[in-house]
C-alpha cells in the first residue's frame, strides 16, 4: 500500500450537504472529486438527481457526473473498474482525492471490492426486465424471496436494479446470491478515511421537502416528461421520476405525486443512514464542522 495516497470518502444521506463539503475539501487539498451517486452518472438526469450546479462543477474537477447515457447503465462492478483506473491516474498528480456520494453499494465496491459474480446473461436480463415492466416490482421481490430468502431480508426491496441482478445471479448459477457474497476486502493502493455527514432527522427531512419544492420550481416536471417515453428503463425507476411517470399515466394528480417524491426521498435517506451506520470506519460530523473535519483528517494525511 502506498501510504502517501489517500482517498477521503464523504458520505451521508441525500440533502445532507455532501456536495458543498466535498467542494470545500477539494479546494483545500487542490484536488478532484469522484462522484459516488449512482443517479448522477447519466446525462439525461439533472434536476431530479440534484446534480451539482454549473458553478459547483467549475469549483473543482468532477468525475462520474453526467458522463454517460441512461441507455448505458453503470453497474457497481463496472464503476469499481473505471474508478480504480481513474484513481490510478489522479494519484499520479494528487496525494489526496475526494470521493462523494450516497450510493453505499458503489462506495463499498470501490473501497472494499466486490465478490466475483457471473457476467450478465443478456437474454435472461431482457426477460426479467420485460416481466418487471409488465408485472411491477412485486414480481422481482417475490422471485428473490423464493430464490434467496436470506438476501431478500437485507436487500433494498424498492431498488429494481439490485433485485434484478440478484435474481439473475440466482438463476444463472443455481445458487442463492447470498451464498456467493464472501465480503472479503480487497487490497487497495491507497488509504481511505470516511467522513459522514450527520444532520438531525427533522432538519434533514425539512431539507428534503424544500429541495423537492425547488426541483419542481426549477423544471423537474419538464425534465421527467422528456424521458417519460423511456420509463421502462431500470435506470429511471428512481425517486423523483417514477412518481411523475405515474402522474403522466393518470394514476395520481400532481400534488399527490410531489408529496410522494418527498415521502419516498425521506424513506431513501433513512435507508442510506441505515447502510452507513453499519460501517464503523465512518467518523460523523455536522455539515458545518469544516474546521473540525480538516483537523481530524490531519491526523491521517501523514
Q: What is the pLDDT of residues 232-271, one digit of tens each?
A: 888 898 999 999 999 999 999 999 999 999 999 999 999 9
Cα–Cα distance, 35 to 64 (Å, whole number): 5
C-alpha cell read off for 84: 480504480
User: H-helix or E-strand containing 282?
Assistant: strand 282-285
Give the per-residue pLDDT at 1: 42
Identify the DSSP state of 238: S
CA atoms within 13 A on the CB side of 70: 20
Better-predicted residue by pLDDT, 129 or 188: 188
Please tell me whether residue 150 adopts helix, strand or coil conformation: helix
Going from N- to C-terminal start, the domains of the chain cover 6-114+184-298, 122-180
Segment 168-186 shows an average pLDDT of 82
Q: Which residue has the cell 463496472?
A: 78
Q: Where does the pLDDT of residue 154 fall: very low under 50, low under 70, confident under 90, or very high at 90 and above?
A: confident
> Residue 302 has what pLDDT?
58
Q: Judge whether 282 and 8 are in contact, CB under 8 Å.
A: no
CATH of 6-114+184-298 given 3.40.50.1820, 3.30.390.10, 3.40.630.10, 3.40.50.300: 3.40.50.300
Query: 10 and 197 in contact (C-beta within 8 Å)?
Result: yes
Rounded Cα distance, 177 and 197, in Å: 31
C-alpha cell at 172: 444463472
Listed residue (213, 206, 132) closest to 165, CA to CA = 132
More confident residue, 55 or 233: 55
* Confidence band for 183, pLDDT divided at 50, 70 and 90: low
DSSP notation for 56-102: HHHHS-EESSS-B-TTSPPPHHHHHHHHHHHHHHHTTT-SEEEEEES
pLDDT single digits (tens) 11-28: 999 999 999 999 999 999
The DSSP call for residue 45 is -
Enter the CATH code of domain 122-180: 1.10.20.140
Specify the pTM.
0.84
Q: What is the pLDDT of residue 182?
A: 66
Amino acid at each position: 500500500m502506498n501510504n502517501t495516497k489517500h482517498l477521503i470518502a464523504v458520505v451521508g444521506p441525500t440533502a445532507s450537504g455532501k456536495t458543498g463539503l466535498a467542494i470545500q475539501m477539494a479546494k483545500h487539498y487542490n484536488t478532484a472529486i469522484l462522484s459516488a451517486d449512482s443517479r448522477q452518472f447519466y446525462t439525461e438526469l439533472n434536476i431530479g438527481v440534484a446534480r451539482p450546479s454549473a458553478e459547483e462543477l467549475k469549483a473543482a474537477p468532477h468525475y462520474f457526473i453526467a458522463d454517460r447515457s441512461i441507455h448505458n447503465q453503470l453497474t457497481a462492478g463496472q464503476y469499481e473498474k473505471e474508478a480504480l483506473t481513474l484513481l490510478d491516474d489522479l494519484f499520479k498528480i494528487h496525494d489526496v482525492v475526494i470521493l462523494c456520494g450516497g450510493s453505499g453499494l458503489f462506495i463499498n465496491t470501490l473501497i472494499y471490492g466486490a465478490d466475483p459474480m457471473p457476467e450478465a446473461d443478456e437474454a435472461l436480463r431482457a426477460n426479467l426486465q420485460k416481466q418487471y415492466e409488465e408485472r411491477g416490482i412485486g414480481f422481482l421481490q417475490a422471485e428473490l424471496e423464493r430464490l434467496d430468502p436470506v438476501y431478500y431480508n437485507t436487500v433494498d426491496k424498492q431498488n429494481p436494479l439490485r433485485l434484478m441482478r440478484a435474481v439473475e445471479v440466482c438463476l444463472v448459477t443455481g445458487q442463492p446470491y447470498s451464498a456467493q457474497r464472501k465480503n472479503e476486502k480487497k487490497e487497495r493502493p491507497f488509504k481511505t478515511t470516511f467522513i459522514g455527514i450527520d444532520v438531525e432527522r427533522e432538519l434533514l427531512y425539512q431539507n428534503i421537502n424544500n429541495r423537492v419544492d425547488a426541483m419542481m420550481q426549477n423544471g423537474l416536471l419538464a425534465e421527467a416528461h422528456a424521458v417519460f417515453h423511456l420509463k421502462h428503463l431500470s435506470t429511471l425507476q428512481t425517486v423523483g421520476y417514477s412518481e411523475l411517470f405515474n402522474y403522466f399515466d393518470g394514476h395520481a394528480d400532481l400534488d399527490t405525486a410531489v408529496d410522494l417524491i418527498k415521502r419516498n426521498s425521506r424513506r431513501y435517506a433513512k435507508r442510506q443512514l441505515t447502510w452507513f451506520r453499519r460501517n464503523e470506519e465512518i467518523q460523523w460530523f455536522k455539515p458545518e464542522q469544516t474546521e473540525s473535519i480538516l483537523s481530524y483528517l490531519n491526523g491521517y494525511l501523514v
